[in-house]
Amino acid sequence: MTHDTAVSKAREIAINVLGPSAGQNDKAGQFSTDAVKALGEAGLLGLLLTVDFGGSGLSPRTFAAVTATLAEADASVAMVYLMHILGTLAIVTARAGAAQALAPILREIGAGRHLSTLAFSEAGSRSHFWAPISRAYRNGNGVNISAKKSWVTSAGHAHSYVVSALAPEGSGPTDSTLYLVVAETRGLSVAGPWDGLGLRANASAPIALNDCQVPSDFQLTDDGAGFPAMLNVVLPLFSLGSSAVALGLCRAAVAGTTSHLKSAKFEHLGQSLGESLPTLRAQLAAMQIDTDGLSARVDDLVEHLEKPRETTMLRVLETKAAAGDVAISVTSAAMRTCGGAAFSKHLNIERLFRDAHAGAVMAPTGDVLREFIGKSLLGIPLF
Ligand SMILES: Cc1cc2nc3c(=O)[nH]c(=O)nc-3n(C[C@H](O)[C@H](O)[C@H](O)COP(=O)(O)OP(=O)(O)OC[C@H]3O[C@@H](n4cnc5c(N)ncnc54)[C@H](O)[C@@H]3O)c2cc1C
């Protein structure tokens, strides 16, 4: 599969599967198993995996383009996809000792039959995902973990969860280890409903791990090496993917607003809204400018990830922070520009507006990112 084929497959799924059901799934808070099936059949679940595992061996550039394309139609599905790609990344970059045990799971992902996700955030440490409260305890053949994971995208639908916990002998708050916990593990359960303001169809419910046994083969990082894996492996692609979701939302807001300004009429004036009101044209133009600005930021981050340099981590932090703000600003402008029609839910704009608010609160939150950037500019330690 090439970059272009992957993006055109994502577009087909967006048009044929996501578009027709996004509104209904949002209303009902219903996870789309059809979407995951379509992504699997199209070979998109194994996008970044090498061909040895049946993947396509494509790069973060394609991941960003596919994710933005999905988000234009349904940001809930795009977030499910993003979390799956990150879960897969954590599995495929696991320590050498786990490679043999994890190979069948990676082949299932390559075949499009396995959905993964991340379970980092905990009720106790909230958005500070780098400091789990839970701890793994050795049991002779691996570890036992009990944890309250507060939000897990695809909860109850994923086949595996990449779970963080303090390492058995860890002494500091960031001495964590990552483990792979398969869905059928005894003691793992969905611990509550998901009824969010936005991204309502992505099942971001809490999960509980109650004395779950994890064999040593499924320990993804060395003891205490969870923290660097979260920061250096997962965070860069999370920033890219969540910025791509924001970009898709902005593009959908511009398209929805354009269509409304062309089709809604002042019959007494014989003009469309867009023909009649320069203020609305200016708002639409500002939305387009911000959307293209975000697109340039996403391209810049891709370029920094492809050719890492001193400024790469700064771009990782900046891009997610900026994307969260731009998505809220562009979808808010769309709400204002489309007026009562948007407010009364006659258009999909209010779904985009609600979905756009998730990016800024997903960890690392926009506030935390600005705090990290400010501290690093001033030479103050981040943790
Ligand atoms: C739709 C959705 C899907 C999610 N999916 C997942 C998932 O798949 N896996 C997962 O692990 N987690 C997931 N999360 C959890 C998410 O990543 C955050 O951990 C969670 O949203 C934070 O919740 P909180 O507001 O309670 O955090 P709090 O820590 O209580 O934050 C409250 C406020 O304080 C601010 N704040 C906190 N710390 C600082 C600081 N140091 N400096 C400045 N401001 C600060 C925050 O920005 C926020 O505005 C998801 C969340 C959502 C909403």
Identify the residue whose C-alpha is closest to ligand 1 atom 7: 152
126: which 2 tokens? 């909230």
Pocket probe mutation, ligand 1, options 362, 372, 382, max atoms within 8 Å of Cβ: 362
From ligand 1's centre to the CA of 71, what distance in Å?
21
From ligand 1's centre to the CA of 372, what distance in Å?
15
Look-up of token digits 């599967």:
17
- Of all helices (H) and strands (E), which one includes residue 282? helix 278-306
From ligand 1's centre to the CA of 122, what distance in Å?
10
Of the candidates 376, 271, 259, 361, the residue with the CA atom closest to the CA atom of residue 317: 376
What's the pTM value of the predicted model, to 2 decimals? Answer: 0.97
Identify the residue whose C-alpha is closest to ligand 1 atom 38: 368
From ligand 1's centre to the CA of 119, what distance in Å?
13
Could you list the beta-strand ranges (E) of the chain. Answer: 116-119, 136-138, 142-152, 160-166, 176-182, 188-190, 205-215, 265-266, 271-272
Contact predicate 301/319, CB 8 Å: yes
How far out from the chain centre does Cα 382 lie? 24
Contact predicate 111/156, CB 8 Å: no
- pLDDT number for residue 184: 98
Q: What averages of pLDDT result for each successive group of 10 residues across the chain (383 residues)?
A: 98 98 98 98 97 96 98 98 98 96 98 98 96 96 97 98 97 97 98 97 98 97 98 97 98 98 97 98 98 98 97 96 98 97 94 96 97 95 88
361 CA: nearest ligand 1 atom: 21
Residue 156, judged by CB atoms within 10 A of its CB (0-12, 13-18, 19+), counts as middle
- pLDDT number for residue 20: 97
Pocket probe mutation, ligand 1, options 121, 125, 162, 237, max atoms within 8 Å of Cβ: 121
- pLDDT number for residue 40: 98
- pLDDT number for residue 382: 87
- pLDDT number for residue 291: 98
Residue 215, judged by CB atoms within 10 A of its CB (0-12, 13-18, 19+), counts as middle
198 CA: nearest ligand 1 atom: 1
- pLDDT number for residue 293: 98
128 CA: nearest ligand 1 atom: 29
- pLDDT number for residue 56: 96
221: which 2 tokens? 């990082």
Amino acid, single-letter form, for residue 22: A
129 CA: nearest ligand 1 atom: 19
Identify the residue whose C-alpha is closest to ligand 1 atom 14: 151
Residues with CB under 6 A from ligand 1: 83, 117-121, 126-127, 129, 151-153, 196, 199, 204, 358, 361-363, 365, 367-368, 371
164 CA: nearest ligand 1 atom: 11
From ligand 1's centre to the CA of 320, what distance in Å?
14
- Of all helices (H) and strands (E), which one includes residue 195? none
Tell which phi-psi region holds residue 81, choosing left (phi > 0), alpha (psi between -120 and 50) or beta. Answer: alpha
From ligand 1's centre to the CA of 175, what distance in Å?
20
From ligand 1's centre to the CA of 369, what distance in Å?
12
Q: How far is CA 356 from CA 65, 86, 178, 353, 361, in A?
A: 18, 20, 29, 5, 10
- pLDDT number for residue 383: 86
- pLDDT number for residue 342: 95
Identify the residue whose C-alpha is closest to ligand 1 atom 40: 368
